[in-house]
Every structure is written in C-alpha cells, then in structure tokens.
C-alpha cells in the first residue's frame, strides 16, 4: 500500500464525495415529492390515475436503475429531452427512488390499524386531519425505517452516475486510477468514504426513529 499516495488523493476524493452527498440528497429530496405524488394518485377514486401510478411504479421496479439512467441520458436527446449529466443524475435518481419511496410510504400508512382512523372519524375528524394527527404519527416509525433503507440505496446507486461522467466519488476514483495505476489504494479510500456517508445516514435515521417512537417507551 502506498500511503503517501493515499494521503495525496484524499482531498480530491473528498471533494468528489461532496458531489456524491449532494446528488444523493437532492435525489432524495425530489424523490420524496415524486413519492407523495404517487401515493396521492393511488389514493384517488378515479381509476385511470391509479393505474397510471401503479404502472409507473411497476416499470421502475421492473428495470435496473442503470438502464433507466442510460435510457434517459442517451435516449432522451433523440426526443429532445437533453439534460446535463449532474441534472440527469438527480432527475433519474429522484424518479427512480420516488417509486420505491411511494411503496414504503403506502406500506407504512397501511400498517396502522384501521381502527385508529375509525376512532378518529367517529369523533368527527375529517380525512385529512385523521391522516395528519392520527395515522401519520403512527406510520412514522416504520416509514422512517423504510425510507432510511432507501436513502442508503440512493447513496450507493449514485456511484452508477459515473457512467455519464458526473465527477462524483466513483468517477473521481477511476480518473485517479487512470493516472496513478493504484486501484487498491484509491478504491479503499473511496470505499471508506462511502462507509462514512452511509453510517452518517444510518445515524440520522436512528435519531429520527427514536424521536418518532418516544411515546412507546415513556
């Protein structure tokens, strides 16, 4: 192991790691809105809208993220849909994870005993208020856990956007290997950086989870 080299490349990799974090965070942020939209569409009475949302979720879940990325980045321009690599990474990342997140959100909402909503409605609360005051707080622990798993998936998936030359951690690592021929050293550092990011995310999720479950232990 060439430790001097490892020290030398660290600043560049750190900078790239920041891009990884940035792309992941934005994918998650926009993905959450995509997910809420999908959940909403599936709660509507008008069936075609529900089918549309279901179809979309199935299509996303049934194809590899990598293929989705290539399809949009290389296939998009031929129908006039041109995105720069970074935007494309965030865009495909958000629309990909949004589908999974919508399933996680729905699952956690459905996990709440239907008697809870009934009790709330019987008191005279409307649908929206029942969702906000009664159902969501109880769905929160499971929702946080399952969205947390997806957040980690997003971080790891982000390495795939190196293929469309976004200079994130994996792309930068490959570039450095191209000039130094030291894959072991460089991939070791980048792997360590992924570990730090992923564990930081897991820590945040754990904190949020504990906050959401306070009432069960008091």
Partner 1 sequence: MVEIRNVHKRFGDLEVLKGINLTVNRGKIISIIGPSGSGKSTLLRSVNHLEVIDQGEISLDGARVNRPDLKGLAFEKHINHIRQNMGMVFQHFNLFPHLSTIDNVTLAPRKLKGMDPKKAREWGMDLLDRVGLAQKADVFPNWLSGGQKQRVAIARALAMEPKVMLFDEATSALDPELVEEVNLVMRGLAEEHMTMLIVTHEMGFARDVSDWAMFMDGGVVVEEDDPQKLFSNPEQERTQSFLRKHLRS
Residue 215 makes contact with partner 1 by CB under 8 A: yes
Question: Which residue number, 95 or 125, has a Cβ lying nearer to partner 1?
Answer: 125
When the beta carbons of 83 and 136 are compared against partner 1, the nearer one is 136
Report how many residues bind partner 1 under the rule CB under 8 A.
21
Footprint on residues 97-126 left by partner 1 (CB under 8 A): 113, 115-116, 118-126
- Closer residue to partner 1 (CB): 11 or 45: 45
Shortest reach from residue 49's CB to partner 1, in Å:
16
Q: Closest CB to partner 1 among 4 and 122?
A: 122
Q: Tell whether residue 129 is a contact of partner 1 (CB under 8 A).
A: yes
190 binds partner 1 (CB under 8 A): no
Per residue, the 3-state secondary structure of the chain, as one string, reads CCHHHHHHHHHHHHHHHHHHHHHHHHHHHHHHHHHHHHHHHHHCCCHHHHHHHHHHHHHHHCCCHHHHHHHHHHHHHHHCCCCCHHHHHHHHHHHHHHHHHHHHHHHHHHCCCHHHHHHHHHHCCCHHHHHHHHHHHHHHHHHHHHHHHHHHHHHHHHHHHHHHCCCCHHHHHHHHHHHHCCHHHHHHHHHHHHHHHHHHHHHHHHHHHHHHCHHHHC
Taking the complex as a whole, the smallest distance from the CB of residue 213 to partner 1 amounts, in Å, to: 9
Least distance from partner 1 to the Cβ atom of residue 119, Å: 4
Residues that bind partner 1 (CB under 8 A): 113, 115-116, 118-127, 129, 133-134, 137-138, 215-216, 218
């Amino acid at each position: 192991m060439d430790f001097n080299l490892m020290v030398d490349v660290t600043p560049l990799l750190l900078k790239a790691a920041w891009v990884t974090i940035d792309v992941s965070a934005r994918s998650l942020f926009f993905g959450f809105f995509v997910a809420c939209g999908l959940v909403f569409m599936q709660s509507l009475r008008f069936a075609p809208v529900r089918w549309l949302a279901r179809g979309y979720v199935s299509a996303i879940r049934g194809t590899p993220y990598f293929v989705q990325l290539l399809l949009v980045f290389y296939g998009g321009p031929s129908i006039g849909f041109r995105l720069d690599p970074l935007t494309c990474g965030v865009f495909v990342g958000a629309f990909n994870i949004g589908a999974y997140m919508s399933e996680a959100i729905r699952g956690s909402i459905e996990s709440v005993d239907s008697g809870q909503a009934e009790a709330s409605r019987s008191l005279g609360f409307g649908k929206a208020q029942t969702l906000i005051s009664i159902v969501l707080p109880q769905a929160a622990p499971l929702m946080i856990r399952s969205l947390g798993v997806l957040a980690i998936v997003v971080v790891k998936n982000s390495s795939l956007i190196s293929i469309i030359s976004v200079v994130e951690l994996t792309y930068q690592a490959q570039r450095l290997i191209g000039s130094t021929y030291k894959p072991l050293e460089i991939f070791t550092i980048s792997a360590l950086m992924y570990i730090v990011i992923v564990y930081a995310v897991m820590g945040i999720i754990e904190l949020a989870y504990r906050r959401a479950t306070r009432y069960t232990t008091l």
